[in-house]
Amino acid sequence: MDNISLPDDGQIKQASEEERDRQMMAAHDINNLFSGIFSNIRLLRKFVDGNREAVQYLDNIEHSSRRATEIAGELLAPPGTEKKRDGRINTRLLINEAVSSVIHTFPKEIRITTEISTSIADLKGNSTEIYQVILNILINAFESITNSGEIKVSAVNIFPPVMLGQDGQEEQPKVMINIRDTGCGMGQDVLSKIFRPYFSTKKKGRVSGLGLYAVKKMVEANNGRIVLESTPGEGTLFSLELPAYVHVRKTMIRDKFNILIADDEELLVSILEDLLTGIGYSVSSVSSAEDAIEKLRADGSYDVLITDLRMGGIDGLAAVKEIRKFDQDIKVILSTGTMGLSNLDFNDVRVDAILQKPYELESLLALLDSLV
């Protein structure tokens, strides 16, 4: 019988290091590819300015690409790396991002709507995983509808928002996300197996998504619970019960906090107004630097100015210089697509923060919270 030569510890270690090197090279190459995508998105924005539909498509490409980089980063992380599942996630933003990623892939006969509580709490967990959960349930809902139908996504607090931040509760506050469709529904025989590994009801040629076994595992990994109700011929309801971020929300301060947005991008302003108003801020907007100066000179009640650097007429920085002549207290956030700028570049006028475009709305919310 021939002797079998087994690798020694040194060879195993070398092979492991080589595999890790290949992973690092792959991660580097993937990041370079996505850097090219993001650079081209920025260039394309110059050519589609004013085309609202094209801007929405670019936003979807950018959001999806950023999610892809996060997923790739997790896949290529060193073995044993523990995923972070205690992050603060803006619930409204996450749901809208998932819906925006798929809404243009659905035929117009399938209507998708959202109904999110104006006082919805933030989630606690891994943003990428919960995004994947919502996205894949939406895909399943779409696949269950044969011709026409409706998908509705709603979100409510299980506990009143005022309870957030109270320590020592036996039960922690949660957020319930419901995804209901008017598709074909499922019978008890399918429901009893739906969360089993490798079980699938997908038909050949349909859109592919994660299996519900993987979805359930992700929900549970984020300390959540998933409940499924379905009736053949009527539709299906997925309910996600997820932990709310237990943190003292600055609701009382936000109720008295006035924000002025100066930006000539109508779509961006509309999104910001909806988001910030929904979580308690008082928001007004103008489309030029000149209008911002006039409004702030007439009304001194504003606490924060979010202004774009480049607009028609005078630019945002010139406006800030003028505003500082009569208002030294207002906090100023300067948003810009110019790379590498910092507060130090504006040492002749006080700018409280620089927000690099394109930015995630979560970054803006965190910045506002730091200024409140």
pLDDT classification of 46: cutoffs 50, 70, 90? confident
Q: At what angle do helices 127-144 and 212-221 cross, to 10 degrees?
A: 150
Please state the separation of Cα 217 from the chain's center in Å. Answer: 21
Residue 217 has pLDDT above 90, yes or no: yes
Task: For residue range 131-171, list pLDDT tens digits in order.
Answer: 999 999 999 999 889 889 999 999 988 864 333 334 444 45
Whole-number pLDDT of residue 78: 64
Give residue 339's pLDDT band: very low, low, confident or very high (50, 70, 90). low
Residue 68's pLDDT is 74
Q: Which of 177-181, 241-245, 253-257, 324-328 has the lowest mean pLDDT?
A: 253-257
- The Cα 165–Cα 168 span in angstroms is 10
Alpha carbon 87 to chain centroid distance? 12
Contact call for residues 354 and 341 (beta carbons, < 8 A): yes
Q: Is the peptide bond before 79 cis (omega within 30 degrees of 0)?
A: no
356 forms bridges with which residues in the sheet? 336
**Percent of the residues in the chain that have a pLDDT greater than 70, as a whole number:** 74
Q: How many of the other CB atoms lie within 10 Å of CB of 228?
A: 15
Summarize pLDDT for 218-250 with one digit per residue, the tens: 999 999 999 999 999 999 999 999 998 864 434
Does 172 score more than 50 pLDDT?
Answer: yes
1, 11, 147, 248, 339 from 357: Cα distances, Å:
68, 48, 40, 29, 8
- Which pLDDT band, with edges at 50, 70 and 90, does 14 fall under? low
Question: Partners of 306 in the beta sheet?
Answer: 261, 333
Res. 317: pLDDT tops 60: yes
State the DSSP string of 87-109: EEE-HHHHHHHHHHHHHTTS-TT
The yes or no reply on domain 87-161+172-243 and CATH 3.30.565.10 is yes
Lowest-pLDDT range, 6-20, 172-186, 271-285?
6-20
Domain boundaries, the chain: 17-76, 87-161+172-243, 258-370
What pLDDT, on the 0 to 100 scale, is given for residue 160?
45
Report whether pLDDT(184) > 70: yes
CATH topology of domain 258-370: Rossmann fold (3.40.50)
Is the fold of 87-161+172-243 the same as that of 258-370?
no
Most confident of 104-118, 153-167, 210-224: 210-224
Residue 267: band (very low, low, confident or very high) from pLDDT cuts 50, 70, 90: confident
123-132, 192-201, 252-261: which has the highest mean pLDDT?
123-132
Lowest mean pLDDT among 125-134, 318-327, 358-367: 358-367
Q: What is the pLDDT of residue 272?
A: 82
Residue 32 sits at the vertex; the CA angle it makes with 26 and 36, to the nearest 5 degrees, is 145
